[in-house]
Chains A and B, each alone.
Chain A
Amino acid sequence: MTVPDRFTCEEVFRRLGDYLDHALSPEELRLVREHLEICSMCASEYRFESSLMDGIRAKVQQTGMPADLLQRITSLLRTEDEAGEE
């Protein structure tokens, strides 16, 4: 597949998800970056999506596990282990 010299807005738009997920080839990555440097509309959309995904990730990962969860699970496993030995 030949790679063009530059990407259009549509070509960047189609790759935005993969760009956010760091799943582009090095050449595509370069072309998307170059486009985002010169196209304020695409750059604005990218910044929004990137910030949104970071926000979702942060909320999901800050769910705050109950302090005693490991202890409760360990106790459950110990009971299972003892039952298996009987």
Chain B
Amino acid sequence: MEPSRPPSFESLLGEILSRAYSMACSLTGNRSDAEDLLQDAALRAFRAFDTFTPGTNFKAWFFKILTNCHFERHRRSGSRPETVDLDDASDLYLYQRTAEAGLHQGCDDPASLVMSKMTAEQVMSAIAALPEEFRVVATLHFADDMTYQEVAEVLGCPVGTVRSRLHRSRKMLQKCLWSIAEKSGIVGELTARRVPA
């Protein structure tokens, strides 16, 4: 019996493309740049496909290429202006802000209430506003449910670095999300609607 042929590049890519697109959207902050990034990465991965070992983790291999493509594009385009000062984001930032805004009164799940008002684009732009090293870690974690170990393998860095960056990115992300929710009127709308104590 002839040995079965390994899956083609196209079929392997097809299986993970949706996740890769989510990841590209979070890295770039918009759909148009995400498509460009994904096409660049696909082309580069296709050219390097002979270095991929069949039977190993194609998704991790491709995400590594995607991340490297993103780093290169980011370097070429220069640094991006940040809209939010992220340095002083505290622990439980959103918990505190939503409590101060009275959104915990008469509501079992205030986090879900705020998130239900936000669009995927707003969340993407919040992640895209994070400093580069935090954005990449947060993207891999949120877009693909990767564990610390898996993120560390894709980025080639220690697990401890992933853990600390992810913890900080969570805090910064909460500050970004709250800023977007305030600017877009979501906070005002929810506050106006809240049940008086």
Chain A residues with a Cβ under 8 A of chain B? 13, 17-18, 21-23, 45, 47-49, 51-53, 55-66, 69-70, 72-74, 76-77, 80-81
User: Do residues B173 and A56 form an inter-chain contact, with CB atoms below 8 A?
Assistant: yes
Q: Which of A63, A70, A73, A77 has the most CB of B within 10 A?
A: A63
Partner among A60, A70, A77 whose Cβ is within 8 Å of the Cβ of B43: A77
Given contacts A17-B170, A61-B22, contact A66 B142 (CB under 8 A): no
User: Do residues B163 and A48 form an inter-chain contact, with CB atoms below 8 A?
Assistant: no
B18 within 8 A of A: yes
How many residues of B are counted as interface, with CB atoms below 8 angstroms from the partner's CB atoms?
51
- Can you give 22 A-B contacts (C-beta < 8 A)? A21-B147, A21-B148, A22-B147, A45-B92, A49-B95, A52-B111, A52-B115, A56-B177, A57-B142, A59-B120, A60-B142, A61-B22, A62-B120, A63-B31, A63-B124, A65-B17, A69-B17, A69-B35, A70-B14, A76-B42, A77-B43, A81-B46
Give Cα A79 to B137, complex, Å. Answer: 33
Q: Which of A13, A65, A76 has the most CB of B within 10 A?
A: A65
Give Cα A44 to B176, complex, Å. Answer: 22
Interface residues of A, dominant DSSP: helix
User: Do residues B25 and A63 form an inter-chain contact, with CB atoms below 8 A?
Assistant: yes
Partner among A56, A66, A80 whose Cβ is within 8 Å of the Cβ of B123: A56
Given contacts A56-B115, A56-B123, A60-B26, contact A69 B21 (CB under 8 A): yes
Give Cα A70 to B111, complex, Å. Answer: 35
Instruction: Give the residues in chain B near A23, CB-CB below 8 Å.
Output: 147-148, 163
Interface residues of B, dominant DSSP: helix
User: Do residues B92 and A59 form an inter-chain contact, with CB atoms below 8 A?
Assistant: no
Which residues in window 1-47 of B have CB below 8 A to A?
9-10, 13-14, 17-19, 21-22, 25-26, 31, 35, 38-39, 42-43, 46-47
Given contacts A76-B39, A77-B46, contact A65 B21 (CB under 8 A): yes
B91 within 8 A of A: yes
Which residues in window 151-192 of B have CB below 8 A to A?
163, 166-167, 170, 173-174, 177
B118 within 8 A of A: yes
B79 within 8 A of A: no
Partner among B13, B119, B163 whose Cβ is within 8 Å of the Cβ of A18: B163
CB distance from B143 to the nearest CB of A (A): 5
Instruction: Give the residues in chain B near A51, CB-CB below 8 Å.
Output: 109, 111-112, 115
